[in-house]
Structure 1
Amino acid sequence: MDKELRELLFRLVNCQGIGNIGILKILSFIIENDYVNLSKNELLQIAEIKKYAPQFLASWERLNQLGEKVKQFQSEHQFLTILDAQFPVLLKEIYNCPAVLFYKGNINLLQEKALAVVGARDASAYGIKVVREFIPPIAAAGWVIVSGLAKGIDSKSHEAAMNNAGKTIGVVGTGLDCCYPRETAVLHRRMAEEQLIISEYPNGTPPRKHHFPMRNRIIAGLARGTCLIEARKNSGSLITAQSALEYGREVFVVPGNIFLPHSEGCHTLLYEGANSVFSPEDILNEMRFFC
């Protein structure tokens, strides 16, 4: 059943008209009933697909017609399912936990203690300086740095970890064979070889606007805490930090210049009671209880 279930989950992830919540409903039904050979109409009913039923049925039929090509496509991926022992325990705690995680690199990093570091794409010199001051001692203390492989604070955090013999995980909103934005292509390749990159999307998935808020929940879910360094109001980085708060994780905010829009999101969180930090030691002192 394990092999059949993996094949089913892979097909569902590649289907149109069904989201991760629908896939989780199907998985829950299969586990409860110990039965994996569901018809397309049963899948439709269990996942409660209504508006996008025509897209799902057409996509499911197309995948069935492709037959061996789908199996070949599956063999081109490395992935964990939520049922696998290596699937990160902390991530299972979040709402809408991804049913499947595709990966390239050292999958064992998912078992180590992690801190998410996120922030503005158009990072200021101040924000980059904070990254370069904060990341080395945090990485030296054994914390894996998790971020989103975007421009600015994200990519600088990954680089700072690797340049100081640390470990880092990149969570992307595309297939792992795509690189977005293109400016991070060299970093993307290096991390796939030396560190770890993960995604809930199969190869060939291009960047889509709604993928990135979804990606942010994974960044927050993987980490015991999240550090926010520069974030505009309503930015994706702010969404990541707010998700971490919802999951009951620690959230650290580096204060910024009150006259810059880069700082609006950070100061909003501080006003709402997030932890203000002025040094890496502030974070390490708080996180020592989670080692």
Structure 2
Amino acid sequence: MELTDVEKRLLALHYVFPVPLNRLNKLYETDPTLEKLYMYRPIELVRLLGISLKKAVQLKESLQQNSMTPYEQLYERHAITPIPFSHPNYPEKLHELIDRPAVLYTKGDQQVLHKPLKIAIIGSRKATIYSKQAMSLIVPPLVKNEVVIVSGLARGADTMAHEAAIEYGGKTIAVLGHGLFHLYPKENRLLAEEMAKHQLLLTEYPPYVKPERWTFPMRNRIISGLSEAVVVTESADKSGTMSTVEHALDHGKDIFAAPGPITSSLSTGPNKLINEGAKPLWNGFQIVESLVLNR
């Protein structure tokens, strides 16, 4: 993939300062081509990036130390394709986010990004067989209509969503909360390796970034941002699933929820969403009729 000199400089900055694009607004306003990137004094970086002087000194040192690093070749060696926000391959829908990723790091089939319809399917990490049964009714009609399934590769419902998309011959995107040199959870290694070959792994974090508690809520906005709608299978009332739903509501996306038995604590989330206006969902044809056929 061809990158401009400006995009190459962004890769160098993002490697040592991996923040969303809105954190770089002042820098781009002052220096749209990033030509002065290596010449800024720490006190100037304080003003342009809104960071402490200590952090600015560290950033300046890191930029200088890595100034000769061939990032493109490094990523290519590991079959990683970076997509800066200014590149034509960057997903159009993510431009609508206030805090859109400055760079996406991808591994796998990039053509999946250009599929016109994507639906997020999410739920509890403790999802039961009920979620798997629900997905057997939800996913096949979506796959038949070339809808891409988006989820987060977490335990439980996310894993079931990716596996269902693959089982029924569809395409799926896993949005990760860490860099591509790491994997979480470890039990999904085989699934991730399969997706890195035939599906798509995507993250806003450079490859070395390890999973942290704060990185997963951040990735939820990307799951929502990429998708036309969000489907919730099983979920507790307070959870990371609900965080993604909140992002989706902020983005004006449709919310579908699989109603569940009132005897299950994991039905609390979707049942409450339905009570608050989400669309009850019992098969994928409802999504096809609502979103696919009306396009």
The TM-score with structure 1 as length reference comes to 0.91
5 Å-filtered alignment, 1:132-171, equals 132-171=136-175
Q: What is the number of residues matched between the two proteins?
A: 286
In 2, distance between residues paired with 1:192 and 1:37? Answer: 36
Give the superposition deviation at 1:20: 4.6
Give the superposition deviation at 1:249: 1.2
1:44 correspondence with 2:46: yes
Give the superposition deviation at 1:48: 2.1
Give the superposition deviation at 1:275: 1.4
Judge which range, 56-65 or 126-135, deviates more: 56-65
In 2, distance between residues paired with 1:48 and 1:230? Answer: 40
Q: Deviations over 1:201-236 (max 9, x none)?
A: 111211100000001100000011111111112211
Give the superposition deviation at 1:35: 5.6
Give the superposition deviation at 1:176: 1.1
In 2, distance between residues paired with 1:148 and 1:17? Answer: 20
Give the residue type in structure 1 aligned to 2:94. L
Give the superposition deviation at 1:268: 2.6
**Percentage identity across aligned positions?**
31
Q: Deviations over 1:118-169 (max 9, x none)?
A: 1111111111111122111211111000110111111111111111110111
1:277 correspondence with 2:277: no
Q: Deviations over 1:167-187 (max 9, x none)?
A: 111100111121100010000
Q: Which of 177, 183, 187 is the equivalent residue of 2:187?
A: 183
Q: Which of 69, 73, 86 is the equivalent residue of 1:83?
A: 86
Q: Which of 101, 106, 110 is the equivalent residue of 1:103?
A: 106
Contact 2:45 2:56 in 1 (8 A): no
The TM-score with structure 2 as length reference comes to 0.89
Q: Structure 1, unaligned stretches of length 5 or more?
A: none
Q: Deviations over 1:224-276 (max 9, x none)?
A: 11111111122111111221111011111111122222122222322221111
Q: Note the aligned Cα RMSD (angstroms).
A: 2.1
In 2, distance between residues paired with 1:94 and 1:16? Answer: 19
The residue number in structure 2 matching 1:6 is 7
Q: Structure 2, unaligned stretches of length 5 or more?
A: none
C-alpha spacing 1:3/1:53, structure 2 compared with 1 (3 Å)? farther
In 2, distance between residues paired with 1:193 and 1:3? Answer: 27
In 2, distance between residues paired with 1:290 and 1:197? Answer: 29
In 2, distance between residues paired with 1:212 and 1:258? Answer: 29
5 Å-filtered alignment, 1:51-90, equals 52-69=52-69, 71=71, 73=74, 76=77, 77-90=80-93
The residue number in structure 2 matching 1:212 is 216
C-alpha spacing 1:69/1:12, structure 2 compared with 1 (3 Å)? closer
Contact 1:20 1:99 in 2 (8 A): yes
Judge which range, 203-212 or 132-141, deviates more: 132-141
In 2, distance between residues paired with 1:185 and 1:264? Answer: 31
Contact 2:18 2:205 in 1 (8 A): no
5 Å-filtered alignment, 1:179-258, equals 179-258=183-262
Secondary structure, counterpart of 1:69 in structure 2: coil
Secondary structure, counterpart of 2:4 in structure 1: helix
